[in-house]
Amino acid sequence: MPELPEVETVKRGLSSSLLGKRLVEVVVRTSKLRYDVPSTIHELVQRKLVNIRRRAKYLLLDFEGSMVMLSHLGMSGRYTIFSPDEVQRVFPHTTNGGQLSAFGTTTGYEGKHDHLEFKFEDGSVAVYTDPRRFGFIDVFTLDQEGEHPRLVQLGPEPFDDWDAKDFASKIHKSQRSIKLLLLEQSMVVGVGNIYACEALHRSGISPRTLGTTLVTQTGKPTKKLQILVHEVQDVLKEAIDSGGSTLNDFSNTDGSLGYFSHQFQVYGREDEPCLKQGCFGIIERIVQGQRSTFLCPRCQK
Ligand SMILES: [Zn+2]
């Protein structure tokens, strides 16, 4: 499932290939993803793509005339970008509007899950592929963005406007575990299960620790909480950086932009030895809020 670093990588990949280009055609092969693809998507045609932003795990594509396309990748959504040259050379018959996408030899599944194609005036094409169809698209105007139900309740971004002081003020009375608090989108957006586990492991904090115990009596963040906030930011930044290098490899081959595997220290490593130097603990898996948490009981207190 794409998490924040993957979405940021997709944002950068789409930006470097498509920014400033005019959209000339949208092919909708599947009108229902998680929700219906709005018919207003066709109003984006003949507009230039002027900016791409990320908010939590949402991509926001700004088109001329203050039109915004929101894209969420769900569980398995990804974009593949084809250069004008590739389209000419390999896929010369793509604009026939047939049932199946002609890009399937590259995007996989014989093109059965290529739900959307975005064609730009220079001939480049972005294909949206999503086998599980949990992703979704919405289109609205910039002045509607502030009230968009998906965006309005989001907490701060982990890098820009979030810090230990802010986090402490939200969790100082909380009897919930720190792992679940990190996943709460009103606390901080886009941390996700994998990176919450990784940041807690790096910080040496047990995922079962209650929020309130990480705040002093006067409401200030404890040293531990400060370290945790720092590690959350670091682990996300490192993943984005490694995504950046993966992205270069990708664009040399098939231009596929989606999710990729990282080297995790604790996530998915049940029964394996802890990788922290000097710690000889064994990684355990527990369930919190119906989701797996991986931890080292020896170095996470
Ligand atoms: Zn350990």
- 266 C-alpha to ligand 1 centroid (Å): 9
Instruction: Please work out, in degrees rounded to the nearest 5, the angle formed at the alpha carbon of residue 82 by the alpha carbons of 131 and 150.
Output: 50
Looking at residue 229, its pLDDT comes to: 98
Q: Catalytic: 149?
A: no
- 287 C-alpha to ligand 1 centroid (Å): 19
Length of the chain: 301
Looking at residue 250, its pLDDT comes to: 41
- 4 C-alpha to ligand 1 centroid (Å): 26
> How many CB atoms are closer than 10 A to CB 253?
8
What proportion of the chain, given as a percentage, has pLDDT over 70? 90
Q: Catalytic: 291?
A: yes
- 279 C-alpha to ligand 1 centroid (Å): 5
Name the active-site residue from 32, 273, 291, 297: 291
Q: What CATH number has the domain spanning 164-295? A: 1.10.8.50
CATH of 4-145, one of 3.20.190.10, 2.60.120.200, 3.90.420.10, 3.20.20.100: 3.20.190.10
Q: Work out the average pLDDT over 42-64.
A: 97
Looking at residue 252, its pLDDT comes to: 35
> What are the tens digits of pLDDT across the range 219-266?
999 999 999 999 999 999 988 887 755 544 444 334 555 555 567 899
Q: Catalytic: 3?
A: yes
Instruction: Note the pTM of the prediction, 2 decimals.
Output: 0.87
Q: Output b/e per residue, 72-93; b: 16+ Cβ within 10 A.
A: bbbebbbbbbbeeebbeeebee
Residue type at position 149: P
Looking at residue 254, its pLDDT comes to: 45
Name the active-site residue from 54, 57, 78, 179: 57
> What are the tens digits of pLDDT across the range 1-24?
778 888 888 898 899 999 999 999
- 209 C-alpha to ligand 1 centroid (Å): 16
For residues 180 and 192, give the distance between their C-alpha atoms in angstroms, rounded to a whole number: 10
Indicate whether 119 pLDDT > 50: yes
Q: Work out the average pLDDT over 81-105.
A: 75
Domain ranges of the chain: 4-145, 164-295
What is the pLDDT of the chain when averaged over all its residues?
90
- 172 C-alpha to ligand 1 centroid (Å): 27
